[in-house]
Structure 1
């Protein structure tokens, strides 16, 4: 899923320093003495904005090293280019790429330089180190911030109705009934943009692993199914919202942008969504409403195990073909990338959808209010990785199936069973022995 559309903010006077390094973003150069480094990133505008700021900041602190940026297309085409460059030995000095299952597909033990011994490793959130490591080594450093799949809500509506933030599914359901009785839409959905329908299922994964910590491994091995508890709960929440009349009347045709407007205006109270998307939309279109928009985890059966399902930022990696002075320069660059100074530049360059995953990198005062709502869950260790970081299996038809269940076309049981069939086909394509 596309995570968000960050706003590109001015990086001040240092932006001019990066102009030559980023001109056209069509190619990168390196050297044999470490005076020039090249990094390979995707061509999404938000990625360019992020690295524009970082290259400028590094140039200001390290004027003797020139960092150039080369871009590749996003998506599967970019995945293939990354793999091709690694396999042919033509990769740049560094590259910025997904963490989790896509990282594992790079055969990192054979293609990447281990970074276990670097001084910054102990300052990284365990969730991130998990998704850039193999049984043999750690290979990546984070650049960017986390985000979550959760319930974004209008705080003013909750205050007016005297509602508390729910920590269990029973409390959530009771709140929805009270919101509906007040003439406000309890749960907003935007099925015109079908990708948005997946969040109640994907964002419920913290609750799945709280109940069964080995579920992801069992799922990858073909032993766990969405049609069984606890994973069916996400599909059940979609069915309940339809059956109980909690949805906006135009849920089938409503767009993501229209639903954000309803949330801001208070005609709808809650929206299961990715925090990165909402933070960007509020910042771009409704900055005056920021203080009114909060977020809480998708509730599960038990308040004691209530926590956030989180997505990790991309990692910066060094291919094994980077050696000698280039390797030392690349490591020095990474050392800087995981500092508070770097994080401050990142916060200026993009819209944060969640906290950083580096100790000492605090959420700035300018960040969206909902990011501050997320921080306590990180501080208390009540976050868990989304399934895509723990398993390579995600069926291509999930968003169509979740629309069917959320629209009352299929029951939760039928939808979950359909998705089990969908992921089985994908597992076979991946060569897994199911």
Structure 2
């Protein structure tokens, strides 16, 4: 098995392998490591093309998965017991047409707003489900001398949440937008629903709703501000939960989570990030193929979920039927699970389109800092993605 070299990934893999080998004493799994980032991507693609891939490997799902030519390089698992329990919400992330090629490795997580429940209770506030409700809520929090919206541009990636975490609302307004965007037929600057994320970022700045140290604060600072009740709402990925548990262990259950609101409360829902997949290359054959399928079936089972939950406290729901979250997961995770249970979630754009420019976070920092306006930043981002789309050889660019 080939997986990422970082300590957490190796630890997860070894825990899963130990449990699998105990249940299947005739199979031995050797865990190997690959580098992260571009080097890891290139290694995966080279080994697949040369037929030298390990029997099983982990890799991204969604648009990343599409880039490794699954139909040419991977063993199809359609109808196999290995994928029998995979949640229907996840299947499109590891499928080409009607053929399924992988199972989920870990948990889904979400982009939205972590909020201080105690502040909301003290001020008699309800979770906002539309953008107008969000602003009205922020005004009441500001009046109470609490920072309504936490921003942490000391880590520039966090500036993107108002844009990337808003994609459920884009998809609700324009269901075909991701496909049109990939084909160069739709743009952020000329699609009102897509432009809205940039506009919301500008509005939060222009109304003075942010923490005073937004320009230099980092994620731990933002989480401390939120946990202390000196800040109330933090647009962020739920994947920062382990950091919350480190910096404010006594306040974890004071923090809840809600989806970034759009124009209409009736279509309010969550933007979801799906876990990586576990795949079998076509070069795996014979007894090893059967063993590999057994392993994937174990990963995508309640027993596999239990291993993952013990190795890492979940930051979102499992994408496997029959798996339930442990009772002691944080409130944030429980809130995210509710959106999945109610089927009020959409995949983030990166799972539907390979088009993403390198400068989005810098452009968002400029808008959120009052340096640039939303319409200008959206237009610049539309230019930013062109080079990458051309490098990928996408039609229409």
TM-score (norm 2): 0.97
SS of structure 1 residue aligned to 2:328: coil
Q: Counterpart of 2:143?
A: 181
Q: Counterpart of 1:28?
A: none
CA distance in structure 2 between the partners assigned to 1:195 and 1:338 by the alignment = 31
1:265 paired with 2:228, answer yes
Q: Deviations over 1:298-326 (max 9, x none)?
A: 00111111111001101110000101111
SS of structure 2 residue aligned to 1:288: coil
SS of structure 1 residue aligned to 2:99: coil
**Residue 66 of structure 1: how far off its partner (Å):** 1.2
CA distance in structure 2 between the partners assigned to 1:136 and 1:108 by the alignment = 12
SS of structure 2 residue aligned to 1:248: coil
Counterpart of 1:208 (choices 124, 147, 170) is 170
The 5 Å alignment of 1:10-409 reads 39-119=1-81, 121-135=83-97, 137-227=99-189, 228-277=191-240, 279-409=241-371
CA distance in structure 2 between the partners assigned to 1:136 and 1:365 by the alignment = 36
**Residue 124 of structure 1: how far off its partner (Å):** 2.1
SS of structure 2 residue aligned to 1:190: coil
CA distance in structure 1 between the partners assigned to 2:173 and 2:86 by the alignment = 26
**Residue 122 of structure 1: how far off its partner (Å):** 4.6
**Residue 335 of structure 1: how far off its partner (Å):** 1.2
TM-score (norm 1): 0.89
Give 5+ residue unaligned stretches, structure 2. Answer: none
CA distance in structure 1 between the partners assigned to 2:212 and 2:247 by the alignment = 24
Q: Counterpart of 1:3?
A: none
CA contact (8 A) 1:283 1:368 kept: no
The size of the alignment, in residue pairs, is 395
**Residue 119 of structure 1: how far off its partner (Å):** 2.7
CA distance in structure 2 between the partners assigned to 1:343 and 1:66 by the alignment = 20
CA distance in structure 1 between the partners assigned to 2:114 and 2:144 by the alignment = 19
RMSD of the TM alignment (CA)? 1.1
Q: Deviations over 1:393-424 (max 9, x none)?
A: 00000000000000011111111111111112
**Residue 181 of structure 1: how far off its partner (Å):** 0.3
CA distance in structure 2 between the partners assigned to 1:290 and 1:145 by the alignment = 19
**Residue 136 of structure 1: how far off its partner (Å):** 5.2
Q: Deviations over 1:86-108 (max 9, x none)?
A: 11111001001110111111111
Give 5+ residue unaligned stretches, structure 1. Answer: 1-38
**Residue 275 of structure 1: how far off its partner (Å):** 0.3
